[in-house]
Chains A and B, each alone.
Chain A
Amino acid sequence: MTATATPSAAPKAVPRRAPGGGLPARRAVIRWAVRLFRREWRQQVLALALLTVAVIGATFAVSATYNMASTSDARFGRADHLLQFEGGDPAELGSRLAAARQWFGTIDAIGHRYVEVPGLFDPVDARAQDPRGAYGAPMLAVRQGRLPAGAGEIAVTDGVARTLRTELGRRLPFDGHDRLVVGVVENPKDLTDEFALVDPAHADPPQTVTVLVTGTKDSLEAFRNTIDGPLVRESRPGTTRTVVAAVTLALATVGLLLVSLVAAAGFIVVAQRRLRQLGMLAAMGATRRHLRLVLLANGTVVGAVAALLGTAIGVAAWLAVAGQVETAAGHHIDRFDLPWPTIGAEMLLAVATATAAAWWPARAIARTPIMSALSARPPRPRPARRTAVAAVVLLAAGVTCLVLSGGDNPALISAGTVATAVGVLFVGPAAIRLLAAARGGMPVAVRLALTDLVRYQARAGAALAAISLALGISVAVVAGSAAAEHQAKQAAGLGNLADNQLLVRIGRPTPVIPVRTPAELASLQAQVDAIAGNLDAPTVTPLDMAVVAADTEPGQNGSQPGHPAVEIGTPVADGQAMTTYPLYVATLELLRLYRLDATAVAADTDVLTVRTGALELVNIPERRVYPKTQALPNPRYSSMPNSLVTASMMARHGWQPARVGWLLDADHPLTEQERTTAQNVAVSAGLTIESRHERASLTGLRTGAVAAGVLLALGILAMTVGLIRGEAAGDLRTLAATGAPPGVRRTLTATTAGALALLGALLGLAGAYAGLVSVLHRDLGALSGVPVAHLAATVVGLPLLAAVAGWLLAGREPPSMGRRRLD
C-alpha cells in the first residue's frame, strides 16, 4: 500500500554560501568546543592533570638533564688541554713549565702534594692553585671564609674538613706546617673534588703539576714532540652540551609521545561522552570535518592549558629543587640556565601533539554512523590483525635502528626508541584479545570484564598504550640505571672494599717491610682486636706478605729498615718498566675469603692471582722468575689481595711471612661512628685504616621512576576503567536482575583495572628490555644485574594495587546505573 501526493519537486532558492559552511561554520564549531571545555572542564580534569603532569615531567627532565650533565670544566676550567708534569726533579719541572709557557703563551699551573693523614690510608690532595688563574679560576670558589695567604694558612673542602676533623678557624698540623683553616673552598664544577688549598706563593715543592693550556690538538702534539720522555696530556672531550641536546631532544620526543597517548586516551573518553551531542550536530547538518573540528579544538585547548600549566609548574619545580639536584649532579648549577628554546619548542609540540592526539578519536567519531552516535553506541572494534602487523614492522625497524646505533648514535637511538615504543603500543589490541581469549573457565564477572575490554577496545587500547608507555619508560630507567651501574662496576670494580669491610694496615705499604718483634706484633694485634670488638663480632683475617728474610734494606721515607717484600709485576708496553702489585701469603684464612681450601690449590702452583699475561716476581735477588700461576676468583674489590703466593713457593725460595695488616669483615655496613672509632684506635697504634669509598647509587632514581610510572598508570586506569564500567552498566543491571551478588560490581572493576595494569606492565617491560637488549647487544652482561624488587613492584605490585583499588572504589553504585544522562 502506498501513501502518495503530487510527485513534483518545489523549486528552491539555494543561498550562495561556501559548500562546507566556510569560516562561519568553523567559528561556530570552535565556539561550541571552547564553551564545552569551559563548561565541562571538570570532566576532563583527569586528562588535563595527566597531560599537565606529563608536561611537568618533560620540562623538569629537560631542565635537569641539561643541567646535570657533568661538564669537563671541572678538570679543564677554561682550558682546552691539560698536561701533567712530575715534580720529583724541581729543575726539570721548572724547565718543562718554561717550555710550556713559551710554547702556549699563557699557562695555568696547579701544584699537587699528596699529604698523608694519620690513621688514614688515602692521602689528601694539597693543591697550590691561583684563584685568579687564567684557566683554572672556574675550578675554585670560596664558600666560607677566605683564601689562604702565607705558609701558615689553609682552606679546605667539606670532605677534607671531615677527614681532618677540622673546621674554619681551627689550627692543625698539615704537611709539616702548623696551619690555620681560613676558608672552606670547593670546585664548583665538581663538588666531589676534595682538596686542601694552600697559598701558591708559599707552597712546598709539588709532587705533580697540572698545567692548563689552550690551543689546537695539533699544537699540543707538536709540543709533546719537543719533550723528552713520556708526557701525560689530555684534551677536553667534545662538547657535552651537544650530547645533552640530543639526549634532551630524545627525552622530549618520548615524553611527548607519552603526552599524546595520555591525551588520546583522555580524548576518547571525552568523545564518547559527547557522542550523542555530536550525533545531534551531524543530524543538524554538520559535516564530518565539522565533527572532527569539535574534538580537535578541544584537544588544542586542553594541550594549550596543559602546556602553560605544566611548563610553569615544571620550571617552578626545577627552581625549587635545583639545590638538591646540585648534590646529585656533583656540581653547582645556575638554576636559570635552562634550555629555553627547547622548552618553548616542547610547549608548542605539547599543543601540537595534544591536537594530533585528538585526531584519532575525532576521526573515529566523525565516521560513526549518525544513528549510532545518537544512541551512543560505541564504534565496532576493529580487527587486531592490522595493528599486529604494524607492530611487528615497527618493532623490527626499531630494534634494527637500536642495534645499528651501537649505543652512541643519537639519531638512530631516537628513531629506534620511538619506533620500538610505538611498535609495543600497537601490540596492545592483540594483547587485549589474547587475554580475553583466555577467559574460558573463569568466573562470570571476570569473563564479562575481559570481554568488555574487547568491546570497548578503542578506549581500552588507548589506555593500555598510555600505561605501557609510562611503565616502559619507568622500566627503561630502572633497568638502564642498573645496567649503567653494572658497567661502571665492570670498569672500576666494585670499589675499593665492601661496605662491611675494614682494611687495617701496619703503617703504609712500602716495598720494605720493617722487622717487628713478637711483642710489637702482639700489641698491634691487641689494637686490631679492639677495633674488631667495636665493629661487633667481625671476622678478622690476618694479611701477611712474603719477604726475603736474607736481605735487609734501609727503610723508605724515614721508616725503619726491613726486608724487601716480594711483589708480582707485569711489564708495561715498552717491555722495560714493570707495574708491580703486592703479593700476599696464601694462608688458610685468606683462602677461605675466596671460598678455597688448601686442596683446591695445585701442588705445583706458585702464585694464585686474578691477573693474566706475563707475570714476573720482583724485589727478589733472582732475575726472571716466572711463577706458575693458578686463577684466583676475582674479589672485584680493588684493595682486596688479588695475588697470593703459596707456601711451597715460599719454602723453595726461603721467603718468610711478615704481618702487614688485617682484613675485618663485619656483619653489617660500617657506620661513620664505627669508622671514626677505628681511625682513633689506629692513629694511636700506628696503624692505618681503609674503608669503602662512597659511591653514588642510583637506587633512589629507580625508586622514583617506579613510583612515577605507577602513579601515572593508576591515573590513566582511574580515567578509563570508570568509563568502561559506566558504559557497561546495563550488563550490571542484567546481572543484578538475574541474581548476581553485590560483589560482582567489585569483581568487574577489579578485573578490568588489574588486567589493563598487568598487560601494560608486561608490554612496558618487554618494550624496555627489547630496546635495552638492542642497544647493549655487544655487552649483554650489563643487563645481568636485574633490579628484581623494582621490576616486581611494576609487574606484580601495580596490577595488584590496581585490582585492590578497583575493588575498594567500586563499592558505590555509579549514577549511570540508575539513569542515563540525556542532555
Chain B
Amino acid sequence: MSAVLSMSQVSKVYGTGNAAVHALRQVDLTVGAGELVAIMGPSGSGKSTLLTIAGSLEEPTDGTVLVCGDDVSTMSADAQARMRRRSIGFVFQDLNLLAGLSAVENVALPLELDGMGARAARAAGLRVLEELGLAERAAHFPDDLSGGERQRVAIARAVVGDRRLLLADEPTGALDSTNGEAVMRMLRAACKRGIAGVMVTHDAQLASWADRVVFLRDGRVVDQTAPSVGPATLLAGDVAP
C-alpha cells in the first residue's frame, strides 16, 4: 500500500511564551491509498489541528508533511492551493457548500479552479453525483438541500477529479444517525476506490468504520488500533455504490 499522507515528527504550537499551547507534539502518521483512518481523542487533543496540517490549511511548527510524496513545507502558497484542488478533498462538519452555486457547480468548482473548462467540469461533477445517487439534486442550491444531502454533495466535491486524499472533520456531527450512516458509507466507498481517508470523530461507533483508529491525547498519538468488529468489517464488500 503506497503512502498518500506521511506526517513525520509534526508539532504545532499556538502562541508564544507562557501563552504557548502545544496542540501537536511530534506526531507521526502515515495513511496509505485506500485506507480510512479515524482520529479520536478528547476535546483539545489536537484532532482537528492534525487534519488541517495534513491538508495544508495550517503550517506545522515543526516536522514534515508529505502528500503524495511532495513536501508541503517547501511549497509556495499557490502550489499548496494547487495541491489542495488536485489531490485533497475536505469535508467539514458544516459550511461545506458555497451558497449561490448549485450542487453540481459546487462539485465542479475545484476542477474549474484548476483550469478545466466549465462544461467539462460540470460533466465530471454530474458523473460523481450520479455515482453517489444525487443526480436528481444536481441543479438544487444548498438552501434547498437537506443536511444529509449537503454532506453527500460535499463528499462528491471532495472526491471529484483525481483526488488522492480525503480529509473529513466530524463529517456526521450535524446529522442524524440515518444520514450519518449514509455519509460514512460514501466515505468508505471512496476509500475502497483507492483514496486515502482521514476522519476526525469522537464517536466510537463511527470510528469503527475505519481501517485504523488513532488516539490522540494532549497532542500526542497515544494509541492506534484496528477495530476488530465494526461496520467496516460487517459491510466489507457491501459498500455503496
Q: Which residues of A contact B (CB under 8 A)?
A: 1-10, 12-15, 17-22, 24-25, 27-29, 32, 35-36, 38-40, 276-277, 280-288, 290, 369-371, 374, 822-823
Contact = CB atoms under 8 A, between A and B. Distances in A.
Given A28-B109, A370-B57, A3 B3 contact: no
Contacts of A288: 77-78, 81
Interface string B143-155: 1000000100000
A251 to B, nearest CB: 38
B30 interface: yes
A776 B214 CA distance: 76
Nearest to B69: A9
B146 to A, nearest CB: 12
A277 B95 contact: yes
B113 interface: yes
A285 B86 contact: yes
A803 to B, nearest CB: 35
Contacts of B2: 6, 8-10
B84 A284 contact: yes
Contact of B214 (A3, A17, A27, A369): A3
B37 A19 contact: no
A280 B224 contact: no
Interface string B73-100: 0000110011111111010101111111
Nearest to B115: A17
Nearest to A12: B68
Given A5-B35, A10-B4, A284 B113 contact: yes
22 contacts: A3-B37, A3-B224, A5-B32, A6-B1, A18-B115, A19-B82, A21-B112, A21-B113, A24-B112, A24-B116, A25-B112, A28-B112, A32-B101, A40-B99, A40-B100, A280-B98, A281-B109, A285-B82, A285-B86, A371-B57, A823-B94, A823-B150
Contacts of A24: 112, 115-118, 121
B69 A36 contact: no
Nearest to A278: B98
A659 B19 CA distance: 95
Given A39-B100, A823-B99, 9 more contacts: A6-B1, A8-B69, A17-B114, A24-B115, A40-B99, A284-B110, A285-B82, A371-B57, A823-B95
Contacts of A40: 99-100
Contacts of A822: 94-95
Contact of B32 (A6, A27, A284): A6
A5 B30 CA distance: 5
B66 interface: yes
A651 B92 CA distance: 108
Interface of B: 1-4, 6, 28-33, 35, 37, 52, 55, 57-58, 66, 68-70, 77-78, 81-88, 90, 92, 94-101, 109-110, 112-118, 121, 142-143, 150, 157, 162, 164, 212, 214, 220-224
Given A1-B222, A9-B3, A28-B113, A374 B28 contact: no
- Secondary structure class of chain B's binding surface, majority of residues: mixed
A40 B52 CA distance: 30
7 tightest A-B contacts by CB? Answer: A9-B69, A285-B85, A17-B115, A2-B28, A35-B100, A28-B112, A285-B84
A32 B100 contact: yes
Given A25-B114, A28-B112, A284-B157, A9 B66 contact: yes
A547 to B, nearest CB: 93
Nearest to A373: B57
Given A3-B37, A6-B1, A10-B33, A276 B87 contact: no
Contact of B113 (A5, A25, A371, A823): A25
Contacts of A13: 162
Contact of A284 (B33, B77, B85, B116): B85
B90 A283 contact: yes
A28 B109 CA distance: 7
B68 A10 contact: yes
Contacts of A7: 3, 6, 30, 66
Nearest to B213: A3
A370 B80 CA distance: 12
Contacts of A287: 77-78, 81-82
Nearest to A39: B100
Nearest to B33: A10
A2 B68 CA distance: 19
Contacts of B214: 3
A242 to B, nearest CB: 49
B116 A370 contact: no
Contact of A12 (B32, B87, B121): B87
B224 A32 contact: no
A12 B164 contact: yes
Contacts of A17: 114-116
Contact of A280 (B32, B87, B96): B96
Contacts of B118: 24, 27-28
A139 B31 CA distance: 92
Given A9-B68, A822-B94, A290 B113 contact: yes
A25 B58 CA distance: 23
In this complex, which of A13, A19, A823 has the most chain B Cβ atoms within 10 angstroms of its Cβ?
A: A823
A91 to B, nearest CB: 89
In this complex, which of A277, A280, A283, A370 has the most chain B Cβ atoms within 10 angstroms of its Cβ?
A: A283
B192 to A, nearest CB: 16
Nearest to A8: B2
A2 B92 CA distance: 25
A19 B212 CA distance: 35
B78 A19 contact: yes
Contact of B28 (A3, A39, A283): A3
A277 B98 contact: yes
A742 B118 CA distance: 53
In this complex, which of B30, B100, B222, B224 has the most chain A Cβ atoms within 10 angstroms of its Cβ?
A: B100
Contacts of A370: 52, 57-58
Nearest to B29: A3
A36 B95 CA distance: 16
Nearest to B215: A1
Contacts of B223: 1
Contacts of A22: 115
A28 B85 CA distance: 14
A370 B84 CA distance: 12
A4 B30 contact: yes
A290 B77 CA distance: 12
